Amino acid sequence: MTRNMLAALLLVASASAIAQTGVATRQVGTARLENIPAIPADVQEAVQRYQNYREAHFQDWLPDGSMLITTRFGATAQVHHVAAPGEARTQLTYFQEPVADAKSVPGTSRFVLSRDTGGDEWFQLYSRGLLGQAVQLTEPGTRNQSPVFNKDGRLIAWSRAVRGSPDYAIMLGNPSDPNSRRVAWQGTGSVAPADISADGRQILVTRGISNRETQLLLVDAASGQARELTWSLAEPARYEEPRFSRDGRTVTAITNAGSDVRRLVQIDLASGRRTPISPELKWDVETYETSEDGRLLAYAVNEEGFSRLFLHDRASGRTTPIAGLPRGVLTGVGFSPDRRRLAIGLSTATSAGDVWDYELGTAKLTRWTRSELGELDPAQLAEPELIRFKSFDDLSVPAFVYRPKGARPGTRTPVIIDIHGGPEAQTRPGWNSGAQYFANTLGATVILPNVRGSDGYGTRYLNLDNAALRENSVRDIGALLDWIARQPDLDPARVAVYGQSYGGYMSLASMIHFSDRLVGGVERYGISDFATFLNNTEAYRRNNRRAEYGDERDPAMRAVFARISPLASVGRIKKPMLVMQGANDPRVPQSESDQVVAGIRARGVPVGYVVFSDEGHGFLKKHNNDLRREVETVFLKQLFQKK
């Protein structure tokens, strides 16, 4: 059979399938595309200009003062070794799947890395050195995360979940011997090791009740006996990054206990008495690191989305801001083994992400990596503007606005409202290739709101969308549409809504409530029905999500879900939509997208659908992410065409 004959037969088969189903389906790589037009060459070229950037993320120091970073030179992010500032990035891992993170084994040149398969989030841990092959430490078919080491690197602890169970176990082993692994303690719920005491006898364990509440326990490494730290149960609060002091009598942690914002505190293990380390602030402490001798602390404050980094000397009590860094968002931090330098990973609105070190004695900043932006000129990229708008109840809601450079005076641009996931996440002004691309290629103004329920603005703000209050965050989008209508440079007749994960739910809900004010919407792996989502999400995270969204087993909450779930009101969506999904998504399974696509199509509304067979909750392989952006471009261009 000739190629022309085969092509003709395929066209006939495709036409027959469309006639029977009303859906034009084609395959591109690992993606199934339904009702998606052909991608023009100029769109493919434009996408590549914005997708060929690289970013370097600090992972850890090695004992000789060199660094491990992750960056992408092919389709996925892999571990690289950087021997000194400005030296070449030497690739160490070559997996087809992206590496999630890497941690150095103390006192050795080896490290432990984490990766999954096809985005399924059933992570496996591997140990390897600068040479040789990686050795798998964990059992196939299990989910493994949160590795921590004791001080001499001979003991590793991590958490392990098995399929169908909501409970994690705390595992122990020697990082150089996979056969040494054992269950130290079988926990209940989402438990994970946070630290191992200096003498190796105790494991500090967190139990995540929700993204708003953490409990702390001590597990005896030898006997497996667990003891709850009752003071951590006294009030619902978050305890993040808890770590032992050298004498094991106190822990340092980030917590919002007794405060609306998260502070860095020292806590007496016996009494629970908290001694603040960071001063009283209006903003959250987002992360911290401690030097090996415990004397120095580096902590970052999330100030209206931007990171500010401070150095605290425990002996003197003195706190010093670290100056000279670009204004952006911290991506990593860590003291060198010799306690002379602090590694700092940072991304900004116009740089994808690089690594510096801060010399503690001289306060000198040295740049280690210079990641490429491809063909992009940083001077032509948009700097996001922070704005605030009033919602229906006078709540002040923040948002970052990316305006296209070169827009003609007196013209009104189309608008993309891009809503983050979580819901307890936060849009921050770091590198955002999508916002830059849409602003400068489509000529659209991109607005990224942090609606109520977002992190970074205190506990009260975080809780404003809980359970039955869920749709109040959707009403924030209505208030943003009002704000857009008052702006002389924005076109209220050409506004699209866009979101992923929980932001996908927000996109669907906005299309239901404001369909007459929107030209269409894009949603990726969004929740379409809270009851089916909670029933089908992986068992190891179900109770955590119930604590945020509400428990579908409660008749009163189930009635709320029946009222607010997009699937229940899908008939109110009147404008075109684009839906995208990873087939291996353990968080928001494909069934959530399948059912909402079917519901929209049943009412005759145009909907495009893309499913990637080798992705999960997010598209992490470059070729898939490229195709995703191409499809979005074609869809949004059609929406924004003036009638």
Q: What is the mean pLDDT of the chain?
A: 94
Peptide bond into 423 cis (omega under 30): yes
Please give the Cα distance from 24 to 15 (Å, whole number): 8
Average pLDDT over residues 509-526: 97
Q: How far apart are CA 48 and CA 239, in angstroms?
A: 42
Structure tokens at 215: 């409990």
Strand blocks (E) in 364-454:
364-367, 385-390, 396-402, 413-419, 445-449
Q: Which residues pair with 304 in a beta bridge?
A: none
Closest CA to 226 of 253, 254, 191, 198: 191
DSSP-derived secondary structure for 129-143? -SSS--EE-S-TTEE
Is the predicted pLDDT of residue 160 greater than 80, yes or no?
yes
Sign of CA dihedral 269, 319, 315, 65: positive
How far from chain centre, in Å, is Cα 71?
Answer: 17
pLDDT at residue 642, as a whole number: 66
Long-range contacts at 235-239 (CB < 8 A, ≥ 24 apart): 236/209, 236/212, 237/213, 238/211, 238/212, 238/213, 238/214, 238/262, 239/206, 239/214, 239/215
SS3 377: coil
Give me the long-range contacts of 352-355 (CB less than 8 A, separation at least 24).
Answer: 352/53, 352/54, 352/55, 352/431, 352/433, 353/55, 353/56, 353/57, 353/430, 353/431, 354/55, 354/56, 355/56, 355/57, 355/58, 355/67, 355/69, 355/82
CA atoms in the 13 A half-sphere facing the CB of 95:
25
Mean pLDDT of 284-303: 95
pLDDT at 408: 81
* d(C-alpha 626, C-alpha 282), whole Å: 39
Q: From CA 192, how far away is CA 206, in angstroms rounded?
A: 5
Distances, alpha carbon 96 to alpha carbons 58, 570, 609, 623, 637, in Å = 21, 38, 25, 12, 33
User: Above 80 in pLDDT, residue 504?
Assistant: yes
Tell me the CATH class for 375-578+588-608.
alpha beta
Angle in degrees, CA 427, 428, 434, rounded to 5 = 75
Confidence of residue 16 (pLDDT cuts 50, 70, 90): very low
For residue 12, pLDDT over 90 is answered with no
Is 438's pLDDT higher than 80? yes
% of the chain with per-residue pLDDT over 90? 92
Task: Give the pLDDT band of residue 186 (cuts 50, 70, 90).
Answer: very high
pLDDT of 29 > 90? The answer is yes
Given a cut of 70, whether residue 286 has pLDDT beyond it is yes
